Amino acid sequence: MQIFRTVREMQAWSLGRRAEGRRIALVPTMGALHEGHLALIDAAKKQADEVVLSIYVNPTQFGPQEDFDKYPRTFDRDSDLAEQRGVAAIFAPSNEEMYPAGHQTFVTVTELSRGLCGAFRPGHFRGVTTVVAKLFLIVQPQRAFFGEKDYQQLKVIQRMVADLNIPVEVIGVETVRDPDGLAMSSRNAYLSPEERSEALAISRSIALAQDLVKQGTHDCKNILDQVQGLLFQGKFTMVQYAEIVDEEMLAPLAAVERPARLILAVYINGKRLIDNGPLRP
């Protein structure tokens, strides 16, 4: 496994592999790898000859009061896990390499970035789409793999690729959960045992919504009232938003009459967790 720190080295390696007819898959991460990330690597290996893992905590997608400085950085552990999983190369640039002096170009997906997390994290998705566009140009993959836990991010990136005619297939991989149901996230490390126990209500609320739809309840207000009633039982829990949206356009729905998603952002004693699940009428 090779580790590249500069754009020039990463591009040269990728262009060389493509010239040999090799198929490249990219798994973009901010490091602090867990089984969810490793599942993305496994999915990528099935559909490519070479898997590139990017490890970069991107400053432009963090707000001024968010956790950029304390976001877990575990590069040595991450690189060991990546090598064990069969990653061919890691791209781990510095901020100066990704955003050199004078940088002033950003990519924005307007409508899909407007609601949900975008409503509460101004500029977040502009940072995400800009860094992902740069990674696509640097790594030159034919395919890229993203977890469905960040569902809005997945849809925003797929829209960017379609709108800008970027020749990368963006593939979503189902959310990986711990045995207790909690969606895997690097931020789970922030939770105390008591907070983690309370956070399990997030996945239970998704299961509740799915059961309600299966039983014939399609009214979104009714479903959301019951979901929030379950979440509000926690003493540490504050719901930032809970919405049922169209699965593709992310527009709020009044009734589950076509493929939909329940999407949640919840604070557990100040630690922000997101999750989602499909609702099928």
Say how far apart CA 21 and CA 17 lie, in whole Å.
7
Sign of CA dihedral 172, 176, 182, 183: negative
Report how far apart, in Å, the C-alpha atoms of 134 and of each of 39, 66, 98, 105 are: 23, 23, 8, 10
Q: Cα-flanking dihedrals φ and ψ of residue 83, to 5°?
A: -65, -40
And the tokens for 11? 């591009």
Catalytic residue, candidates 34, 37, 124, 218: 37
Starting at the edge strand that comes first in sequence, how are the strands of the sheet with 169-173 ordered? Answer: 2-4, 89-91, 50-55, 24-29, 143-147, 169-173
β-pair type (169-173, 143-147): parallel
Asked about 218 being catalytic, the answer comes back as no
**CA 95 and chain centroid, separation:** 20
Exposed e or buried b for every residue in 46-62, given b needs 16+ CB within 10 A?
eebebbbbbbbbbebbb
Query: Residue 144: which H helix or E strand, with range?
Result: strand 143-147
Active-site residue set: 37
